Amino acid sequence: MSGSPPLLKRADSPLVARLSPSPNFGVRRGGRGIDMIVLHYTGCPSAEAACLWMCAPESQVSAHYLVDEDGEIVQLVAEEMRAWHAGAAFWAGEEDVNSCSIGIEIQNAGHGACEAGGLPPYPEAQMRAVVALVKDIVRRHGIRPERVVGHSDVAPMRKADPGEHFPWRMLADAGLALPVPQVVLPEMKVLDGHGVRALQEALARIGYGVPVSGEACEQTAAVVRAFQRRFMPQRVDGVAEARVLAMAQAVCNMLDERASSA
């Protein structure tokens, strides 16, 4: 890798237990600063397997941090560098998410790991470490709660992690991620074209990459599933219906209130 930046030499966070330098990184394009955190699950059977994969040059993937089930935090890429974790992604107008974000991989075997499908739980020790790491990164880089997102939020057509069982509330209670708005939801009713357009407009305002067409297309369904995983995890079906619209509009209202009080 002639002419490439050097491998990781020191930890950026005091919470890091060890370094495992990955060769899979580059410079942040356009001199971008860090203003996002993207959370992933590894989808691997163990943190060791995930670490080996992200450190293998042929994988062409990496993340800045890996959090094991016991709470151990491993750093693989220096924060100043561009890790290869989000892939083709979009959030709030940003098309190069890797260049403005920190990627955190959380050890979890992912969807389909359980015999009956579903998603393994995230152990308490692991989540305490995730919250502490996110808090440290947010403090140092001034990242807003609405910019702490899941991989499925920025790549809904391709990804489902960290999944509907991820305990976002722990991050929200610490002021690190958006909380679920307290809103009375209407009865389920599939939206007509005008309603679908209103839903698409609300989802786009939140940051999702969704067409505003009034058509319940495949991309819209994928974005609705991502939104449900984050804010309505009891039912993840991608259906553009009245309850999803009400919740999306409530999130927009919450963002407006936060912006006006900033």
What is the pLDDT, as a whole number, of residue 32?
83
- Give SS3 for 150: strand
CA-nearest of 101, 29, 8, 24 to 62 is: 24
Cβ pair 200, 162 in contact under 8 A: no
Q: Tell me: cis bond preceding 162? Omega within 30 of 0 counts.
A: yes
Tokens 């307290």 correspond to 182
Residue 10 buriedness (CB in 10 A; 0-12 / 13-18 / 19+): exposed
Going residue by residue through the chain, which has 262 residues, state the pLDDT in tens, using 9 for 90 and above.
445 678 899 999 999 999 999 999 999 998 889 999 999 999 999 999 999 999 999 999 999 999 999 999 999 999 999 999 999 999 999 999 999 999 999 999 999 776 556 789 999 999 999 999 999 999 999 999 999 999 999 999 999 999 999 999 999 999 999 999 999 999 999 999 999 999 999 999 999 999 999 999 999 999 999 999 999 999 999 999 999 999 999 999 999 999 998 7
Cβ pair 51, 76 in contact under 8 A: yes
Domains and CATH numbers, the chain: 18-173 (3.40.80.10), 193-255 (1.10.101.10)
Sorted by sequence, the CB contacts under 8 Å of residue 172 that are 6+ apart come out as: 145, 178, 179, 180
Nearest-angstrom CA–CA distance, 212 and 179: 25
Nearest-angstrom CA–CA distance, 186 and 44: 39
The two three-digit tokens of residue 237, written as one number: 């079906």
Nearest-angstrom CA–CA distance, 236 and 150: 15
Cβ pair 102, 38 in contact under 8 A: yes
Residue type, 130: V
CA-nearest of 38, 37, 64, 40 to 163 is: 40
Sorted by sequence, the CB contacts under 8 Å of residue 93 that are 6+ apart come out as: none
Q: How many residues does the chain have?
A: 262
Packed helices 242-261 and 193-206: angle between N→C axes, nearest 10 degrees: 40
Among the options 105, 146, 164, 241, which is catalytic?
105
Nearest-angstrom CA–CA distance, 158 and 86: 10
Whether residue 115 lies in the annotated active site: no
What is the pLDDT, as a whole number, of residue 95?
95
